[in-house]
């Protein structure tokens, strides 16, 4: 951690290496937290309305006091403040973490949200399609439970930690996760799409996948540009091996194509078109 970098805790700037928490922090003790990772371009968070709305829905599900949270506009001002303070001049990544106020054991004493804002630079200046495709397989040692909170990014991320370890152990660059029904539903930090005979498929939110902000943008773009899209209850290894293309999406990297799943190799013709549409959308919005 850079000793000269800064973060914002509940509206106040702190050095990133400051002691800002104590052992009563509920995110530390119980994973009692939510988070959003947001890409910023020219000091402005991309698709922040969608990030903010998902955050509010998650807070309601976890019974946080939503009225105590800063507004969308207030957060945007705080993002700009921490980006400037850290002297980040290109695109950057914001992590916004919400956690419940200290106190209580499993039963909280209060439900007021606290918030932490961290900023880090990104190497790319746009949603660049990866030149080297991802290599992926399926993590099957644990599965993700479909529930009312599975669509949010929460502090309970152990399945992703274990999947990440599996990915590293097998020299992969992404890994796919299954739900309790054995269906493949998402990647390590991204939503899953695959293409077969010019039809684009993606798992339904009810399958247990994260309700991705970029997933929402891509689905909207596909419909606007008359691509055939089907949302299904997840997929199988056999269906992915039969696919023509596979790609992943998230709010930081945009669209990323998969070159290899198990022993099969894939092209990225339609995936490249979709990535171009995404960048055209962002450029158009920035020029307005």
Whether 114 and 142 map to the same domain: the answer is no
Tokens read off for 25: 């922090």
Mean pLDDT of 212-231: 98
Q: Are 5 and 15 in contact (CB under 8 A)?
A: yes
* % of the chain residues with pLDDT over 90: 95
Whether 68 and 201 map to the same domain: the answer is no
Q: Are 160 and 183 in contact (CB under 8 A)?
A: no
Residue 127: inside a domain: no
Domain end position, chosen among 78, 98, 121: 121
Whether 95 and 200 map to the same domain: the answer is no
Q: In the β-sheet with 44-45, what is the strand arrangement from edge to edge?
A: 12-15, 6-9, 113-121, 92-100, 33-41, 44-45
Mean pLDDT of 220-240: 98
Domain end position, chosen among 121, 154, 181: 121
Residue 128: inside a domain: no
Whether 142 and 76 map to the same domain: the answer is no
- Of the pLDDT bands very low, low, confident and very high (cuts 50, 70, 90), residue 284 is confident
For residue 115, give its domain range: 6-121
pLDDT at 288: 60
CATH code at position 86: 3.30.470.10
Tokens read off for 252: 């930081």
Mean pLDDT of 61-80: 97
Average pLDDT, rounded, for the chain: 96
* % of the chain residues with pLDDT over 70: 98
pLDDT at 66: 96
Residue 195: inside a domain: yes
Other CB atoms within 10 A of residue 94 CB: 23
DSSP H helices in the chain: 26-30, 48-61, 72-85, 158-169, 213-224, 237-241, 269-287
- Of the pLDDT bands very low, low, confident and very high (cuts 50, 70, 90), residue 114 is very high
- Tell which residue, 150, 62, 57, has the closest CA to residue 101: 62
pLDDT reading at 185 higher than 70:
yes
Domain end position, chosen among 80, 97, 121: 121
Q: What is the CA radius of gyration of the chain?
A: 19
- Of the pLDDT bands very low, low, confident and very high (cuts 50, 70, 90), residue 287 is low
Q: How many domains does the chain have?
A: 2
Mean pLDDT of 169-183: 98
Mean pLDDT of 13-21: 94
Whether 94 and 35 map to the same domain: the answer is yes
Whether 50 and 117 map to the same domain: the answer is yes
**Cβ-proximal residues to 215 (8 Å cutoff; 6+ apart), any chain:** 191, 202, 209, 249
């Amino acid at each position: 951690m850079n000793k000269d970098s800064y973060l914002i805790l509940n509206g106040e700037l702190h050095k990133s290496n400051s002691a800002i928490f104590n052992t009563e922090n509920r995110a530390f003790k119980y994973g009692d937290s939510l988070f959003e990772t947001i890409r910023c371009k020219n000091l402005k968070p991309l698709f922040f309305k969608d990030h903010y709305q998902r955050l509010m829905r998650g807070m309601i599900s976890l019974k946080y006091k939503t009225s105590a949270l800063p507004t969308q506009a207030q957060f945007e001002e705080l993002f700009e403040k921490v980006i400037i303070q850290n002297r980040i001049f290109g695109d950057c990544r914001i992590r916004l973490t919400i956690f419940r106020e200290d106190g209580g054991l499993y039963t909280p004493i209060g439900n007021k949200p606290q918030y932490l804002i961290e900023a880090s630079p990104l190497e790319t200046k746009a949603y660049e399609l990866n030149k080297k495709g991802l290599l992926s397989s399926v993590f099957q040692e644990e599965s993700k439970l479909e529930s009312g909170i599975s669509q949010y990014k929460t502090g309970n991320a152990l399945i992703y930690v274990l999947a990440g370890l599996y990915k590293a152990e097998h020299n992969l660059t992404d890994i796919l996760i299954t739900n309790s029904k054995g269906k493949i539903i998402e990647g390590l930090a991204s939503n899953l799409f695959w293409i077969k005979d010019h039809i684009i498929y993606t798992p339904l939110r009810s399958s247990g996948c994260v309700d991705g902000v970029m997933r929402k943008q891509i689905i909207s773009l596909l419909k606007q540009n008359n691509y055939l899209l089907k949302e299904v209850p997840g997929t199988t290894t056999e269906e992915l091996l039969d696919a023509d293309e596979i790609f992943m999406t998230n709010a930081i990297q945009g669209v990323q194509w998969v070159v290899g799943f198990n022993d099969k190799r894939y092209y990225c013709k339609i995936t490249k078109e979709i990535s171009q549409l995404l960048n055209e959308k962002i450029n158009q919005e920035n020029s307005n």
